[in-house]
Structure formats: C-alpha cells, structure tokens
Amino acid sequence: MKNVVIVSSSLHAISSSKLICEKIKEGLEDNGNQVKFVDLKDVDLKFCIGCLACQKTGKCVINDDVKNYLDDISNSDVLIFASPIYYYSITGQLKTFLDRLNPLYIRENKFKKIYLVATCADTDENAINGSVEAIQGFVNCFDGVEFGGYFLGTGIEQATDLDGTNYLENAYLFGKNI
Ligand SMILES: Cc1cc2nc3c(=O)[nH]c(=O)nc-3n(C[C@H](O)[C@H](O)[C@H](O)COP(=O)(O)O)c2cc1C
C-alpha cells in the first residue's frame, strides 16, 4: 500500500487534466493505495517571497493553506503533479506550489517517485518536454527521488475533447500500474 498525493493545478471548472487525475486516483485506490487529492483551484496559495527562513525552520512564514499539505506531502510515497501545458511548461499555479514546498528541502521526506500528468491542445507528444524539465528540476533537488514518468493527453483544449478518446481508460490503468 502506498500513500499518494495528487496535486491538480488547472483552474478550469471542468478540467481535462483533473478528470484524468481522478481516473488515476480510481486506479490507485482499486489497488489498495491511499490517495489524497489537492485541487489548487480551492487552495489559498501565495507566491514564495524567497526569504529562505524555511531552510532554517522547516516552516514557511506565509500564512495560507500550504501549511495544511506539507506533512501529507512529506509523508507520502508518491507525488503526482498535474498541469495543463501553458507555454510549453507547467502552469504558474503549479510552479508557485512547488516553490512553496521549499520547507521540505531540509526535511527527511518519504517520497521517492514523482509523476507528471498533463494535457495540451498540441497534438505533438514533444509538447510535454518543457513540463517534464520543470518537474525534473524539482525532483533533482531531493536526494533519492526519481521522476517516475508522465501521462499526457494531446489534442485536448477542454474537458469535452476527452470524449471519444481512450485517455480516461488509460489513466485508470496508469494509476493501477503505479
Ligand atoms: C495561457 C495558456 C497557455 C497555453 N499554452 C499552450 C501551449 O503552449 N501548448 C499547447 O498545446 N496548449 C496550450 N494551452 C492549451 C491548454 O494546455 C489546454 O487547453 C489544456 O488541455 C487545458 O487543460 P485543463 O482543462 O486541465 O485546464 C494553453 C492554454 C492557456 C490558457
């Protein structure tokens, strides 16, 4: 049994990347894993101010919702970050959340694998490269942590574009195989 945290970063009311994450969650849960789902749409999330106090204290000086997630993330085995592709990278909101995880930089964290979920309008699979690099930059800063891989939906501008594709079925299987 693994503890998994999924962080969805789209602000769409009905989001393709979030729907994919929900299917991945189903696959994970059907295999007996415990999953916590964080939807940044509902999170009070402020920018990192770069004070680096967290690297001495393990805590952030900013009083918003991020403090509610640090322990769950630190104690999870697997992290899954989801983002629609914006300018061939991750969303600003996901990058902001990653920056705010800097208090974990000095902690003993349990997580060993980090996955990326993305959707984009482009039909070229290479559209994910910038987002993989963005997540890899985070991964590289934590000893013993690996990038586990990605799930990409191409040709998806909005959630209804998932209709008639097998992305949701495949997302379920992706979750089962984590
Ligand atoms: C600001 C902005 C930038 C975008 N940049 C790209 C891009 O660089 N390449 C691309 O293929 N799609 C781009 N898109 C389209 C989104 O990736 C696409 O609509 C995505 O599937 C939305 O996912 P969601 O429903 O989970 O929010 C962009 C959309 C927005 C709003």
User: What is the SS3 assignment for 146?
Assistant: strand
Q: What is the pTM of this model?
A: 0.98
- 75 token code pair: 């104690």
Mean pLDDT, the chain, as a whole number?
98
Residue span of the structural domain in which 103 resides = 3-176
What pLDDT sits at residue 57?
95
CATH number at residue 95: 3.40.50.360
Q: How far is the centre of ligand 1, averaged over its atoms, from the C-alpha of 95 (Å)?
A: 15
What pLDDT sits at residue 81?
99
Q: Which of 149, 122, 121 is nearest to 135 (CA)?
A: 149
Q: How far is the centre of ligand 1, averaged over its atoms, from the C-alpha of 89 (Å)?
A: 10
Average pLDDT estimate for 148-172 = 98
What pLDDT sits at residue 175?
98
Our answer on whether the CB atom of 121 is closer than 6 Å to any ligand 1 atom is yes
pLDDT, tens digit, 9 for 90 and up, residues 95-124: 999 999 999 999 999 999 999 999 999 999
Q: How far is the centre of ligand 1, averaged over its atoms, from the C-alpha of 110 (Å)?
A: 32
Q: From atom 23 of ligand 1, which residue's Cα is the shortest distance away?
A: 84
pLDDT, tens digit, 9 for 90 and up, residues 29-52: 999 999 999 999 999 999 999 999
What total number of domains does the chain contain? 1
Out of 6, 12, 85, 129, give the residue to mutate to test ligand 1, the one with the largest number of ligand atoms within 8 Å of its CB. Answer: 85
The interaxial angle of helices 167-176 and 16-30, nearest 10 deg, is 40
Can you say whether residue 52 is alpha, beta or left, with left for phi > 0 and alpha for psi between -120 and 50 degrees? Answer: left
What pLDDT sits at residue 79?
98
Rg for the chain (alpha carbons), in Å? 16
